[in-house]
Amino acid sequence: MNKKGEATRQTIKEKAYLLFAEKGFKEVTMKDICEATGLSRGGLYCHYTGTGQIFSEIIHDLMSRQDQDFQERLNSGISAVTILDEVLNRYQIEMTDSAASLSVAIFEYFSMQEHGTKENSIYEQYLLSSEMWQSLIQYGIDRKEFYPADVRAVIDLLLFSYQGVRMYSCLMPIDETIPSRILGEIRKILVIPKEDV
């Protein structure tokens, strides 16, 4: 695909992301995306067959970018605590930012029969996130910056807390101290204080 086509696809995904965050997956139509992008229906259908294809690509892009960011940080030799703090700070912001959250849309998309059985189901996304966190936690343990905690338990605590608060923030007001307290406790489970090293 040429650069203009790639740029158009990127614009479509950016505009669609905002619609999915606002309305969820089920309520967004190709007509909505046409209006948001200024494309004709024919112009939009030249790039995508439907909202499911657009949403799937958005999720894939987000996961790929997150995986790439994690790997770059780990390969750079940066302190595991620094990487953890950066990610936890981002998570804290995202946990209460219901306007930018795809949590409801993700739930709707993957709970639909035709999407829930695909190879790239929500479980596959969970496994990918788990692998990324496994790498970071093991990196921290190897560098003696993290306690040798129950890695699986910490990952589950982190991922399910993160997604749970994000989902609830779409449905009700969330006090900003909730993510701070949760993530602070997860940090305490992992990080060996400097004075103990």
Tell me if the pTM is above 0.95.
no
CA torsion angle 28 31 35 40 (round to 10): 140
Across the range 66-85, mean pLDDT stands at 91
Q: What is the pLDDT of residues 30-67, one digit of tens each?
A: 999 999 999 999 999 999 999 999 999 998 888 888 88
Residue in this structure with the two tokens 């998570």, named with its chain if needed: 91
CA-CA-CA-CA torsion sign (44, 45, 48, 52): positive
Question: Is 52-196 assigned to CATH 1.10.357.10?
Answer: yes
Q: Shortest CA distance to 57 belongs to which of 97, 6, 100?
A: 6
Task: Please give the C-alpha separations between residue 63 and each of 46, 53, 116, in angstroms, as whole numbers.
Answer: 25, 15, 17
Q: Shortest CA distance to 59 belongs to which of 112, 97, 7, 115?
A: 115
Q: What is the pLDDT of residues 140-173, one digit of tens each?
A: 999 999 999 999 999 999 999 998 888 888 788 8
Taking the C-alpha atoms of residue 177 and residue 85, their distance in angstroms, rounded to an integer, is 17
